[in-house]
Amino acid sequence: MAVAVSILPSQQLDALNDAYRRAVSRRRLRLALSAMVFLGVLLVAAVGAEVNLTTLFTYFGNFVSYFDRIFTLDDGHRVWTNIPEWFWGFKKWIKLLGETLLISYVGTLAGMLVAFCLNFLAAENTSPAPWVRFTVRRLLEFARTVPGIVFALIFVIAFGLGPVAGVLAIALHSSGALGKLFSEVVENADMKPVEGVRATGASWLSCMRFAVLPQVIAGFSSYTLLRFEINVREASVMGFVGAGGIGQELVVAIRKFYYSDVSAILVMIVVTVFLIDIGTGWLRGRLFGAEART
């Protein structure tokens, strides 16, 4: 099959080529400039973070051999050749892991309750007054921005060492994060049912209960389940600052170079996180259909 490709006369072609080059060169210049700015930022950051490539090159072998070491038992064999020896503290660790899960469960639920009470006040369409909305929003923002573990550090001093501090820290941080998401869900709700309920002479509370809640409850539960997943990870490190859970054992094992213990605890944490992820994913699918699974 013959294909005829028509070629424009050279005069016309030159003009077009010129225009193309001009258009592209401006874009390329902008790209090069932003790349240079980005590289400059990186360079400043590298100096600021005391990046030392020689250290990295000298000790990178340590990083690889660290994993070699944590998968070796004291007697020099690989850990999986002697499972009972590897998981010698299984009973203690599984109990602490259970505590970690309990911390995240109680923390998530408590945070959810607080967020649930506050979010109707923070959402644009349901808030009773602008000043209430402003105050509640700032409060939620504060709770969300300060990392959970910073709250835990402070709570450990106020409430004493132990899981109570961890639960409260997770609850406070979750209430901030969930409060924002919840209020966004409420803002997307249809306001017609609210008008309908208000037309019957119902109070603000009844409006929320009978008009808004049925629309938003699915979104709320989905976000809460997601938050639970995140909080399981968070609770696994709460022990680093003495706020309960498996983190305490892990930090001791890492700091004191109990190599095989480190890998055993890490394996248990990773498996737990996997199971929780799969479990909540399945639950979300069951509750809200396949489209909510992602």
Partner 1 sequence: MSFQETPDQAQLRERYPHIFNRPMSARLATPVVLLLAVAVFIFGLVDLDFSPSRILAGLSQLGWIARLMLPPDPGSSLPIYLKALGETLSIAVLGTTLAACTAFPVSLLAARNVIPSAIFRFPVRRLFDTIRGVDTLIWALVWINVVGLGPFAGVLAIAVSDFGALGKLFSEAMESADRKQVEGVRAAGGNALHEIRFGLLPQVLPVIAGQVLYFIESNTRSATIIGIVGAGGIGLQLAEQIRVLEWQKVSFLILMILVAVAAIDWISNRLRFAIIGRRAVA
Residue 188 within binding range of partner 1, rule CB under 8 A: no
- Least distance between partner 1 and beta carbon 151 (Å): 10
Burial 88-123 (b: 16+ CB within 10 A, else e): ebeeebeebbebbbbbbbbbbebbbebbbebbbbbb
Q: Which of residues 154-183 bind partner 1 (CB under 8 A)?
A: 154-155, 157-160, 162-164, 167
**Which residue is listed with tokens 């396949």?**
290
- Is the dihedral angle over the CA atoms 105, 108, 114, 115 positive or is it negative? negative
Which of 52, 135, 188, 206 contacts partner 1 by CB under 8 A?
52
* Cβ closest to partner 1, residue 15 vs residue 113: 113
Interface map 229-268 toward partner 1 (x if CB under 8 A): ----xx-xx--xx--x-----xx--xx-x--------x--
* Cα–Cα distance, 274 to 74 (Å, whole number): 28
Q: What is residue 31's three-state secondary structure?
A: helix
DSSP state of 256: T
Residue 202 CB, nearest approach to partner 1 (Å): 21
Q: How many residues does the chain have?
A: 294
117 lies in the site for partner 1, by CB under 8 A: no
Q: Compute the least distance from the CB of residue 11 to partner 1, in Å.
A: 28
User: Contacts with partner 1: how many residues (CB under 8 A)?
Assistant: 58
Whether 254 and 135 have beta carbons less than 8 Å apart is answered as no
66 touches partner 1 by CB under 8 A: yes
Considering only residues 56, 83, 117, 132, which one is a binding residue for partner 1 as defined by CB under 8 A?
56
3-state secondary structure of 177: helix
Contacting range for partner 1; rule: CB under 8 A; set: 2-10, 71-79, 100-108, 116-124:
100-108
User: What is the secondary structure of 184-228 as a DSSP string?
Assistant: HHHHTS-SHHHHHHHHTT--HHHHIIIIIHHHHHHHHHHHHHHHH
Interface ranges with partner 1 (CB under 8 A): 41-42, 44-52, 55-56, 59-60, 62-63, 66, 99, 102-103, 105-106, 109, 142, 145-147, 149-150, 153-155, 157-160, 162-164, 167, 233-234, 236-237, 240-241, 244, 250-251, 254-255, 257, 266, 269-270, 273-274
